[in-house]
Structure 1
């Protein structure tokens, strides 16, 4: 039966699931090269804003992708068996403890959707990856930001936050941390996990672990069932454009995550590329060695320029601009074709996060920055 009263659907307001969505700002990505070219007409652009691998990916990836081009009309393996097999051999985790995602961000989202409700809380550190606070708002949950200690995680304070909030379901820890590059000691992190109730998940975001082997806390999975480690192929492996990551956990947790994740959430090309990239660890060693050398060079240059920085264990470095208008310096860099990441959104308005590039890119950055600071 149809109502005699008509409804003007065009004027109806959408229903917001949670009030917190109204406070949720879209994630700000690094400015694309194409956008800078359109805005300023700069053709020779150096992008050092998104912590991408400036070397690229393993040559083996190209062959793996090529072999899949004739199968693009077919769905990928929804279980990702061969990639999981490679991850299992690499990490020593059984296949039933591995979950694949469309980048590590996808896995962080799946974790929140699986374990966090509107009456729950998520604990994370100040100056940590902004997605953690976003996930709390997406779930309509309480986000508890714990003040940082020397720009890194204050685990004692985070432990206290969990004790003070019995509804805490997840603690997110980025190690090395983005955007500050700080790193936690293994013994300190183990003690932290041991001090928490087993009902609280500790999610270790190890997106940059290849750059710092000391940040690999895989051993915690053998001792604690409430630890989940999330990693990505977007950074050292150079597959940011394909969006693929993985989570390591106990089998029961992985079983829940695999119920919630979308079917076919990793593409056929992504599966093949990641498997090939993982198998070429010689390439990863080259990537990391280059990063170490260039990081040391950049640190010396920043010292020469009188700029402060935070010692980083990743492939980026956070630099303090001793100037009242960091935004103006960032703008000047953009106008000369150098893209870095301002950190206003992290509550760090006087800092820029700079990805470590290859030698030519880093020299271009320093030369441009020196000329801007000299002109000031």
Structure 2
């Protein structure tokens, strides 16, 4: 019998885990069917009708590879962001882009700074390429910018990661605060600014895009406000030399024709995205009011979800599991103090009404 080929040392030493257990897997394991899918921050408002039509038309060409350079989409995004096309990097969502960033910048043993309880897929990729994570706890429900910068300096980190607006809290920083943070990061440390939820944030949230700054990569996605999570398409804004380096390692045919067509059509339908953003803002206010009525509190949010602090990790776990038994999928962050929270996506008005009713009924049991 042939011997078993050994895995690479990095892979062999990794825990048997993934960043998120998909809700479909939990459905199969528990036998519960999801009726309200409010745990993955997908947009239940759907996508632009123009995007839907464009994707249907492109489906007839799905026997062909997609344009490896995403030329039409690249041109439109360059126009919208006032950058040259060579400053854009494309991937199958921000998740793939984070993996490419880790691969491009990290050698085994290199230090990386992030927040304790921040987006776990980034950590997943860092560890997958042998990086060493240094995690800074949140402070007052927000990323601790001062400690993130000082930790990056003390550890000699190659990368510091910050989501703005944040996942899982929904909190955010202004452009001025981010520029001050940027100035405190060591020169040879890359800032990865994850802006997956930027469309939902106040206008003053994002600092001006400087395509000539080699020390920052900003990631964006069509999964949230554009309602195209299943199409798997995202992009990054970076220095042209950074983008050129990614050409050496990226999956050149990783974005299919339907995704490219849908994303381009969605960009040309800004009115649809504005309506989604407006409805989400209304839903955030409803969730905050609901939390107050139940004796809980909601974190201020500039995303398409709200983190509701229910008072304790035990109560949060109880409510999550009880809601699941009634077909409501929400998530609870994995580390203190964030594990006191239910993270709930802002759904349609009908979904929000149904969620409020079920949470009220479930919370009565939790408070007894």
- Is TM more than 0.5 here? yes
Q: 1:199 to 1:290 in 2, by over 3 A?
A: same
Whole-angstrom distance in 2 between the partners of 1:20 and 1:181: 35
User: CA offset at residue 224 of structure 1?
Assistant: 2.7
- Give the alignment's TM-score, normalised by structure 1: 0.91
1:230 aligns to what?
219
Question: Aligned pair in 2 of structure 1 residues 39, 25: CA closer, same or farther (>3 Å)?
Answer: closer
Q: Deviations over 1:206-253 (max 9, x none)?
A: 000000143653514256321111000000100000100000011001
Runs of 5+ unmatched residues, structure 1 = 1-7
**Using a 3 Å threshold, how does the CA distance of structure 1 residues 222 and 66 change in structure 2: closer, same or farther?**
closer
Q: Which residue, 161, 182, 185 being the options, matches 2:171?
A: 182
Paired residue secondary structure (1:297):
helix
- Give the root-mean-square deviation of aligned CA atoms: 2.1
2:27 match? 36
Q: TM-score, normalised by structure 2?
A: 0.93
The 8 Å contact of residues 193 and 218 in structure 2, kept in 1 or not, is answered as yes
Aligned pair in 2 of structure 1 residues 19, 273: CA closer, same or farther (>3 Å)? closer
Match of 1:258 among 226, 236, 247: 247
Tell me how far apart the structure 2 counterparts of residues 41 and 139 of structure 1 sit (CA, whole Å).
36
Residue of structure 2 aligned with 1:126, choices 110, 116, 121: 116
Higher mean displacement: 20-29 or 309-318: 20-29
1:140-159 equivalent positions in 2, closer than 5 A = 140-159=130-149
Whether 1:278 aligns to 2:267 is yes
Q: 1:267: how far off? A: 0.8
Aligned pair 1:94/2:84, yes or no? Answer: yes
Structure 1 SS opposite 2:199: helix
Q: Which residue of 2 aligns with 1:194?
A: 183
Quick one: structure 1 residues 343 and 350, their matched pair in 2 at CA, closer, same or farther if it must change by over 3 Å?
same
1:361 to 331, 336, 351: 351
Correspondences of 1:263-342 after superposition (within 5 Å): 263-322=252-311, 324-342=314-332
Give 1:87 deviation, angstroms.
0.7
Larger-gyration structure (1/2):
1
